[in-house]
């Protein structure tokens, strides 16, 4: 299998991961009024499709060169010798991620990219970094820099919630007292999107440490096997979790399977494309974290840089989709502050391996 053999390559793969993870959700926005529950069927197929292609191409040819047997065998050989318990953990991590991601897409529907990603992915980053540091403390660098970065990301989450709440209040504020009684001016609660984002982040932070554990040891799964099993968990769990979201939607009336077939070819292709983009981000992230120890960026750091997707997605929401258009000066100040806090937090986490204790 092909894996990175230099620090620069591993670092570049994490950057690709960040860009993919931060950009795939644009495809959901591009579908227009297509419901996220229906979009998600195509998305999960795209995730699985890209993992299968990678497993039987890059994962089946090349010299390997890793520190464990899992990274020195091809995809099929690794699937044959990997411990069944480790394979199940990789599969289960895909199901955990999938529920988290559905909640995240629901939060995007309610509150937009520039709220859902900083809150949800920010919380996931905090949980993921701390758990990965606990699993491999020496591989992830200076704990003071890691924890300082985590604190800044937490502050960014709080500021994001404040910005969203203030924006909702200013956007829905009626012009005068008499207008307050008009049903058209009834204010939507800003907390639904925040709660959905936090729930997504809580689950999102758990999947990566479980996947990292599945890759550990002589009988762990390799990066391509991990991606395949993970994506299979995503695909199969979609049919289970989506029944709940379709019948008890976070917004709008319930939808049925008949509605899925009423979608246009463009809407279906955008869903598949979104899944492929996300899967490329996952595969490159798994590869960076599976590089030989001498060139590895570390699981916590690889995950943290990958979760810089929140910053990328926030910028998409602000600049492309104008989600905070018409904001007050107070809200604009919050937005600038959250971007500074998030970027600073990611920088500290990324620098941690350069200054080991």
- Distance of alpha carbon 129 from alpha carbon 135, whole angstroms: 10
Position 2 in a domain: no
Q: 249 near 105, Cβ under 8 Å?
A: no
- Distance of alpha carbon 108 from alpha carbon 119, whole angstroms: 11
Position 327 in a domain: yes
Q: DSSP labels for 48-114?
A: HHHHHHHHTTTTTSS----SSGGGTS-HHHHHHHS-HHHHHHHHHHHHHHHHHHHHHHHHHHHH-HH
Q: What is the pLDDT of residues 15-35, one digit of tens each?
A: 899 999 999 999 999 999 899
Position 88 in a domain: yes
- Distance of alpha carbon 220 from alpha carbon 342, whole angstroms: 33
- Distance of alpha carbon 3 from alpha carbon 9, whole angstroms: 9
Q: 335 near 327, Cβ under 8 Å?
A: yes
Confidence of residue 67 (pLDDT cuts 50, 70, 90): low
Find the domain containing 271 and state its range.
7-354
- Distance of alpha carbon 57 from alpha carbon 5, whole angstroms: 18
Which single residue is written with the structure tokens 């996952």?
Answer: 282
Residue 205 is encoded by which pair of tokens?
A: 């932070």
* SS3 assignment, position 313: helix
Position 336 in a domain: yes
Position 51 in a domain: yes
pLDDT for 174 equals 54
Q: What is the pLDDT of residues 130-150, one digit of tens each?
A: 887 777 776 667 888 888 988
The pTM of this model reads 0.85
Position 253 in a domain: yes
pLDDT for 6 equals 86
Q: 275 near 31, Cβ under 8 Å?
A: no
Position 1 in a domain: no
Position 84 in a domain: yes
pLDDT for 185 equals 45
Count of structural domains within the chain: 1
- Distance of alpha carbon 264 from alpha carbon 239, whole angstroms: 21
**Average pLDDT across the chain, whole number:** 86
- Distance of alpha carbon 339 from alpha carbon 317, whole angstroms: 12
Confidence of residue 260 (pLDDT cuts 50, 70, 90): very high
């Amino acid at each position: 299998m092909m894996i990175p053999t230099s620090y620069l390559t591993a670092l570049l793969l994490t950057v690709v991961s960040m860009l993919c993870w931060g950009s795939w959700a644009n495809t959901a926005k591009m579908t227009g009024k297509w419901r996220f529950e229906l979009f998600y069927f195509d998305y999960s197929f795209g995730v699985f499709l890209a993992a299968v292609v990678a497993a039987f191409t890059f994962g089946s040819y090349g010299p390997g060169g890793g520190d464990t047997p899992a990274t020195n065998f091809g995809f099929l050989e690794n699937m044959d010798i990997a411990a069944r318990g480790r394979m199940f953990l990789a599969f289960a991590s895909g199901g955990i991620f999938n529920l988290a991601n559905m909640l995240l897409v629901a939060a995007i529907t309610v509150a937009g990219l520039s709220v859902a990603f900083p809150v949800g992915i920010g919380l996931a980053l905090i949980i993921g970094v701390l758990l990965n540091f606990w699993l491999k403390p020496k591989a992830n660098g200076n704990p003071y820099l890691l924890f300082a970065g985590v604190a800044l990301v937490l502050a960014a989450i709080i500021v994001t919630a404040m910005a969203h709440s203030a924006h909702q209040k200013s956007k829905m504020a009626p012009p005068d007292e008499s207008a307050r009684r008009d049903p058209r001016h009834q204010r939507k609660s800003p907390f639904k999107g925040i709660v959905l984002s936090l729930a997504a982040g809580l689950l999102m932070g758990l999947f990566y440490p479980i996947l990292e554990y599945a890759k550990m040891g002589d009988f762990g799964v390799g990066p391509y096997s991990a991606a395949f099993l993970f994506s299979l968990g995503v695909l199969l769990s979609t049919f289970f979790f989506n029944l709940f979201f379709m019948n008890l939607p976070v917004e709008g009336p319930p939808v049925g399977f008949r509605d899925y077939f009423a979608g246009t070819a463009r809407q279906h292709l955008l869903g598949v494309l979104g899944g492929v983009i996300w899967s490329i981000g996952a595969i490159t992230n798994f590869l960076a974290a599976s590089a030989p120890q001498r060139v590895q960026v570390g699981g916590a750091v690889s995950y943290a840089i990958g979760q810089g997707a929140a910053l990328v997605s926030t910028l998409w929401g602000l600049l492309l989709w104008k989600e905070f258009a018409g904001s007050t000066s107070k809200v604009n100040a919050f937005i600038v502050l959250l971007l500074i806090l998030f970027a600073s937090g990611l920088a500290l986490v990324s620098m941690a391996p350069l200054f080991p204790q």
